[in-house]
Structure 1
Amino acid sequence: MPSNPPATRTRRTARAALLVVAVAVALFVLLGQLTAVLPVGFWSPVLSVLALQLPMLLLSIVRDTFGSWNIVVAALALAVGVLTLRRRSGRRRLPVAVAALSGTALLLTLITTTVQVFSVHGATGDWFVFSPASPAKAAGRGPDRTVIYATLGGQQLKADLYLPKTKAAAPLVVSIHGGGFISGSRGPTPYTGWLADQGYAVLDVDYRLATATRHTWNTADADVGCALTWATAHASQYGLDMDRVATFGGSAGGNLAVNVAYKADAGRLKPSCGTAAQLPKVKAVIGSYPVVDMTASVPDSAYGGQVADEYVGGSPVRYPERFRAVDAANQIGPDAPPTLILQGSRDHLVFSGHTKAFADRLTVAGVPHRYVELPFLEHAYDQSSVGIGTKATRALMLPWLRKYVGS
């Protein structure tokens, strides 16, 4: 009789494959948690190499997308290791590795999740104990209309309209996408359709993106201003109340949300279509992980340098006047509207220290604002899932809009 029958070999092969998968899962969760708990400065050697920084950002964003589900996957990996250890076998190194890796990952995930839950409760008054409810993408519904708001340089610029179910003219939120000024586009997010359901019209806009040969540092905010003049011209058609306008965006879109609002209210924004007289006064700004200090961000990471090269055309040393034009602190004035800023504390692209310094400048200038730092979250923490970062943003932005824009 064979000492190692086929059925036994099959079970051993399946068990080994399961352990390998468990190791991979445990490593994924553990590395994601290490990028959350270790200080941003610890990763400077990684951030200085584009081929390393981008995978690190992707790993951390996936971690934030999974949110509390990281606890589940780490616990499953731990269970595989523990159950395999209980079997009588002389080869125990892999099960021990699985148990050790997944156990450490599970402990770190429990710590970071608990801190996030209590921190967000302190900021919002709401408890978001397990989020997202599903790790699947949850961007929300599509737009009610897509319009061409301008044709500039032979390029059609489009915007999506999300309209509330109300007969009265609705306050308008202008949503501005991120992407480092060199990528990205309008499209459903966890906020666009949701804001419409709360009674706000949303104009989700595209703008001309930068390339290696086209530097749009002086046209991106002008294009958003162009979209605002289009909204003024079509306000009666779509039921938009242009006396109640807010701007909102994340990352590069956060920079534009701030700069467009501050410049428009100070009478310094020159739209790329329409006239300055058609620009409304912006009543409120909401920026998530906004690029408020590009000058300081350039040396922080390889991707920051690439963005500067394409968007601005070079370094702050070479083009100081261009960087002064795009850095949000230089736009602060007495007419700046109330500004809500949200920032992940472990952002490896837009460092939280720069964003906090901008909020401090608002304090000195007497601009009504609120700065909320969300612990352990990466850049773009709210792009693909209704996780705790998205829920915190919703819970904070809605009262901000109701207070300064109305509902």
Structure 2
Amino acid sequence: MTRSPARVVSLVFLALFLLVDHDRIIGQDDRPREPREARLEQLRKRFPDADANQDGQLTAEEAQAFRKSRRQNDATQKRPRQRPEPTHGDVAYGPHERNVLDLYLADSKMPTPLIVYIHGGGFVGGDKDSVSPGMIQAAHENNISVAALHYRFVDGEEILFPVPQHDCARAIQFLRQNADRWNLDPQDFACYGGSAGAGISMWLGFHDDLADPKSDDPMAQQSTRIDAIGTMGGQGTYDPIEIKNLVGGRAWEHPSIFKVYGVKSAEAALHPTPEMKKLYDEASAITHLSKDDPPLYMIYSEPDIVPPADSRPGQFIHHPNFGKQLKAAMDKLGIENVYVHTDDAKGRDPQMEMFEFFRKHFQED
């Protein structure tokens, strides 16, 4: 039996009520932690857009905000709930098993712009399947194609920063090299993602071009530059010293911050060797920022508060202060940027506003 859109939305509200409101009524301490996390993960898989910062983990706060947004914005009822099948899936862009991407090609006679999605997950998890179905639909309705990437996870030993960044740069080069094959416009590429994917997207946008015109590898000759960036809960810096000063609390103690550099202790992280400090700078997008860099659309959803001293290690790693720092730096250089906190976007859909931001800049080119 086919359910009406209103019936489907009612079921969504019921699921979210049972997940969020019931926990609030009985008290979180009365419910075992693992079952609650399992329900959150199940909800994230059913409704990928509920994961506001796209870091691969759905919090109770994000679930509650997702419920409120659906009540406030009837337009979201028309957005698809399920990700469509890719036009081309698991296309290899490099030798590693995670050097693969999916393509969702628009049906167009003219070469199409491309929006590239880079998933989050702390550089140790996540999946390209978390690409927003709504973003794909909006793109196809406007003759824009979408790609979603995998990249190598760090392991704390051999695969460290900036391997994930370079993998995604290679994917951009691969897509440009094959632009004619897939009817893409190589001059109109945008990148977006949440958390780790946001950091990589900014790194690609701000870093100097990695193209090597003298390389014997035709793919390496392609540009890695992009035209616009979108982020959700993005970190402009991965320097633990800078994060400690910028955010406070214990955000800088996030396990991934240690793992991406192969650092074994907090002491080593806060007192890096000169070589390690250079790597902090190389891996952080904001250190590469210059006035010729592309525009940025930022979304943040974590509370804009001073993190308490008793916060958990890694908590507030998506703090709005990252966005404020980026905005101040980009404003100073005269680079267009938009900062949105979901608390101030009631009744709006920031991800679709991000899409319109991309579309505007594609048209300007």
Shift of the 364–157 alpha-carbon distance from structure 1 to 2, 3 Å rule, reads same
Conserved 8 A contact 2:243-2:251: no
Distance 1:321 1:226 in 2: 22
Shift of the 354–261 alpha-carbon distance from structure 1 to 2, 3 Å rule, reads closer
Select the residue among 83, 90, 93 that pairs with 1:150.
93
Q: Which residue of 1 aligns with 2:6?
A: none
Q: Which residue of 1 aligns with 2:280?
A: 323
Deviations 1:220-267, CA, capped at 9 Å, x for gaps: 11111111121122111110100111111111101111111222xx32
Distance 1:226 1:23 in 2: 46
**Residue 285 of structure 2 corresponds to residue 284 of structure 1:** no
The letter of the residue matching 1:372 is V
RMSD: 3.6
Q: Which residue of 1 aligns with 2:111?
A: 169
The letter of the residue matching 2:232 is S
Shift of 1:283: 1.3
Deviations 1:309-331, CA, capped at 9 Å, x for gaps: 11122225323222111222101
Conserved 8 A contact 1:161-1:204: yes
Aligned length: 292
**Residue 311 of structure 2 corresponds to residue 310 of structure 1:** no
Distance 1:61 1:151 in 2: 35
Distance 2:102 2:73 in 1: 33
TM-score (normalised: structure 1): 0.63
Distance 2:191 2:21 in 1: 44
Conserved 8 A contact 1:244-1:282: yes
Deviations 1:329-353, CA, capped at 9 Å, x for gaps: 1010122111111112427331111
SS in 2 for 1:155: coil
The letter of the residue matching 1:363 is D
SS in 1 for 2:190: strand
**Residue 190 of structure 2 corresponds to residue 251 of structure 1:** no
Distance 1:341 1:291 in 2: 10
Distance 1:196 1:317 in 2: 49
| Counterpart mapping for 1:8-19 below 5 A | none
Conserved 8 A contact 1:294-1:326: yes
Deviations 1:97-132, CA, capped at 9 Å, x for gaps: xxxxxxxxxxxxxxxxxxxxxxxxxxxxxxx44686
Conserved 8 A contact 1:177-1:249: yes
Distance 1:269 1:219 in 2: 16
Q: Which residue of 1 aligns with 2:101?
A: 159
| Counterpart mapping for 1:106-185 below 5 A | 128-129=72-73, 133=77, 138-152=81-95, 154-185=96-127
**Residue 340 of structure 2 corresponds to residue 340 of structure 1:** no
Higher helix share: 1
Q: Which residue of 1 aligns with 2:360?
A: 403
Shift of 1:68: 5.3
Conserved 8 A contact 1:67-1:131: no
Select the residue among 341, 350, 361 that pairs with 1:392.
350
Q: Which residue of 1 aligns with 2:321?
A: 353
The letter of the residue matching 1:259 is W
Distance 2:279 2:270 in 1: 8
Shift of the 25–353 alpha-carbon distance from structure 1 to 2, 3 Å rule, reads closer
SS in 1 for 2:99: strand
Q: Which residue of 2 aligns with 1:297?
A: 243
Distance 1:270 1:323 in 2: 24
Conserved 8 A contact 2:80-2:133: no
The letter of the residue matching 2:114 is L
Shift of 1:207: 0.6
TM-score (normalised: structure 2): 0.69
Conserved 8 A contact 1:243-1:281: no
Conserved 8 A contact 2:210-2:224: no
Distance 1:215 1:292 in 2: 21
For CA contacts below 8 A with separation 6 or more, give which structure has more relative contact order: 1
Q: Which residue of 2 aligns with 1:10?
A: none
Conserved 8 A contact 2:243-2:252: no
Distance 1:200 1:214 in 2: 37
The letter of the residue matching 2:122 is G
**Residue 326 of structure 2 corresponds to residue 364 of structure 1:** no
Distance 1:335 1:231 in 2: 23
Distance 1:169 1:129 in 2: 33
Distance 2:259 2:177 in 1: 33
The letter of the residue matching 2:85 is G
Q: Which stretches of structure 1, 4 residues or more, deviate above 6 A after TM superposition?
A: 269-273
Larger Rg: 1
Shift of 1:198: 2.9
**Residue 193 of structure 2 corresponds to residue 193 of structure 1:** no
Task: Name whichever of 290-299 and 360-369 sits farther off.
Answer: 290-299
Distance 1:323 1:367 in 2: 24
Shift of the 22–146 alpha-carbon distance from structure 1 to 2, 3 Å rule, reads closer
Distance 2:301 2:83 in 1: 23
Shift of the 65–337 alpha-carbon distance from structure 1 to 2, 3 Å rule, reads same
Unaligned stretches of 5+ in structure 2?
1-19, 31-54, 264-268, 305-315
Shift of the 336–59 alpha-carbon distance from structure 1 to 2, 3 Å rule, reads same
Q: Percent identity?
A: 18
Q: Which residue of 1 aligns with 2:63?
A: 62
Shift of 1:151: 3.5
Q: Which residue of 2 aligns with 1:124?
A: none
